Structure 1
Amino acid sequence: MADGPEEHRLRALEERIAAAKKAQAPAPAKDEHYSLAQHAWRMVVELVAGLGIGFGIGYGLDSLFGTTPILLVLFTLLGFAAGVQTMIRSSNEIQAQRLKAERSAEDEGD
C-alpha cells in the first residue's frame, strides 16, 4: 500500500485536517447560555420598567387631578404596551445580530 515517505505525508495531512476541524469547532454552549439569559433579563427589565413608568405617571396624574383609578389604569396599560413594544424591538435586534453572525460564519467557511 503506502511506502515510508507517502505514509509520512498521509499522516501529516491527516493531522492538518484534524487541526483545521478543531479550529472550526463551534464555541461551547455555556457561553451561549449566559448570553441568552442576559437577553432574557434585558427583556424582563424593559417590560417592568414600562409598567413602572406607566404606573408612576398614572398615579401622579391621578393624585394631581383627583381622579382616583382612571389615569392609573390607563397609563399602566400604556406602559405595558410600551414595554412589550420595546421587548419586540430588542428581540428583532438580537435576531438581526445572530443572523449577521451566521452569515459571516458562512462567508468565512466558503
Structure 2
Amino acid sequence: MPGGFCCALTQGVLRRSNAPTSARGNLRVTDPDQKDSMKRLEERIEAARRAQDPKPRVDEHYSAANLAWRMVIELVAGLGIGFGIGYGLDILLGTLPIFMVLFTFMGLAAGIKTMLRSAKEIQEEQEAEAASKDERD
C-alpha cells in the first residue's frame, strides 16, 4: 500500500501496521539472505511466466482448402467473364452461339492460366520458406 501502512485482519478486527511497504504493497525485505532468496524466487517465477507465455503465432499463409477454393474461384470467374462477354456480343451482333462459345473457351483458358500462375506463386513461396527454414536449422 502506498503511504507506508499495511492493514492486517487479526481476530476479526482490521488493524493498521506501520511496517514499511514497497510500491506494490509488499513488505520490504531487509535481511540480505532473504533478499537473495527472494531474488532467486522472482527469477524462477519470471522463468515460469516466460515458459507459459503464448508463443508468437507463425502465420500460415494458406491452408490447402483455401488454396483449392482460390483456384476454383479463379477458374469459374474466367469462365463466367468469358461467357458474359460472348453472350453480350452475340446479343448485340445477333450471332447468338458463335461469340458465346468462343469467349467461353477464352475465359476457360484465362482461368486456367490464372490458376497455374497462382500455383506457381504458392510453390515459390513454399520453396523460399523451406529454404529459410533449412538455413535456420
Using the size of structure 1 for normalisation, the TM-score is 0.69
Runs of 4+ residues over 3 Å off in structure 1:
none
Give the residue type in structure 2 aligned to 1:98. Q
For residues 41 and 98 of structure 1, what CA distance do their matches in structure 2 show?
18
Counterpart of 2:127?
99
What's the offset of the Cα at 1:77?
0.1
Q: Which residue of 83, 87, 91 maps to 1:59?
A: 87
Deviations 1:42-85 (A, max 9, x none): 00000000000000000000000000100000000000000000
Aligned residues: 79
**Which whole-Å CA distance do the structure 2 matches of 1:48 and 1:92 have between them?**
19
The unaligned stretches of length 5 or more in structure 2 are 1-57
Report the Cα distance in structure 1 between the residues aligned to 2:124 and 2:68, rounded to whole angstroms: 16
Percent identity between the two aligned chains: 58
Aligned ranges 1:2-17 → 2 under 5 Å: none
TM-score normalised by the chain length of structure 2: 0.55
Distance 1:83 1:68 in 2: 23
Structure 1 unmatched ranges of 5 or more: 1-26
Question: In structure 2, what is the Cα distance between the partners aligned to 1:37 and 1:93?
Answer: 16
Which has more strand, going by share of residues? 2
